[in-house]
Amino acid sequence: MSRRTAIRGALLGGAGLAAGLAVAPAVRASCGWDRPPVTGGYAAAADNLGAVAHPDVTIRYRGDTTERLVAFTFDDGPAPQWTPAVLDVLDQSDAPATFFMVGRNLVRHHGLIRGRMNRHAIGNHTWSHPDLATLDLRQVSDELQRAHDAIREHTGRTPELFRPPFGHLGGSTVLAADRMGYDVVLWSDEMHERSFGGDPRAQAAFIVDSVRPGSIVLAHDAGGARRLITVRGLAAMIDGLRRRGFRLVTVPELLAAAPRADAARSH
């Protein structure tokens, strides 16, 4: 039996919630960060940040680079009010980001992003935002495929990145991502939308102070009013990070920086 067949069999045998628990311990440390993973389902169950290498899918919590690069990511949109507000700040700051879009929201609100995504990357965040760790392979595959098709139709791009809702990774999710050629992107830092008493300045200061080279930061461009703390503090975050010498990049740009960092260390 080949290694690939064995891994597939193990994942199929424990598809859904149970297999997610088997995936997390395979995470290997790549940077020696002294902080545990942030909240996010089985992302938080891992002992270290890094990458999980499966036959054809990679699970990333951060970029493996020593360059002062950071990737802001926005989940759950597009949505009226939220997405245009985020895009306005990013435009004014000349800053790129990565948007993990929910397919049905994109179908409803694709006009919000028309002509505004040139500097940004787009990823798959499922069709309807369910907890994929509770679904079987057929159901997970349908969620990914419907969102994949919507992104292609309404943006003209073929997404290559996928983020599971809540960061929950069951075995069926890994298999579906593998079959569709996706890399899975989780996060190393996140906006604390329930904290800081709703003060955008405090939220911004926290992000500016806590980000490290290679950070992938979780934010949202849809949801409840508490998430306005992120939108209202976004410009200050960008300015503060730039003062610390950081450059904002998309997730694909962040992941592409790893070989350059590895090459530099080998000389």
User: Which 3 state secondary structure label does DSSP give 99?
Assistant: strand
Close Cβ partners of 6 (under 8 Å, ≥ 6 residues apart)? none
Domain ranges of the chain: 3-266
Query: What's residue 104's pLDDT?
Result: 98
Catalytic residues: 75, 220
Residue-level pLDDT at 258: 77
Regions of the chain with pLDDT less than 70: 1-56, 259-267
Domain 3-266 classification at class level? alpha beta
**Which pLDDT value is given to residue 160?**
97
Using one digit for the tens of pLDDT, what is the confidence trace for 73-128?
999 999 998 999 999 999 999 999 999 999 999 999 999 999 999 999 999 999 99
Residue whose structure tokens are 């989780």: 186
pLDDT at 170: 86
Nearest CA-CA partner of 140 in 108, 117, 172, 164:
172
Q: How far is CA 33 from its chain centroid?
A: 19
Q: How far apart are CA 147 and CA 165, in angstroms?
A: 13
Write down the number of H helices and E strands in the chain: 9, 11
pLDDT value for 230: 83
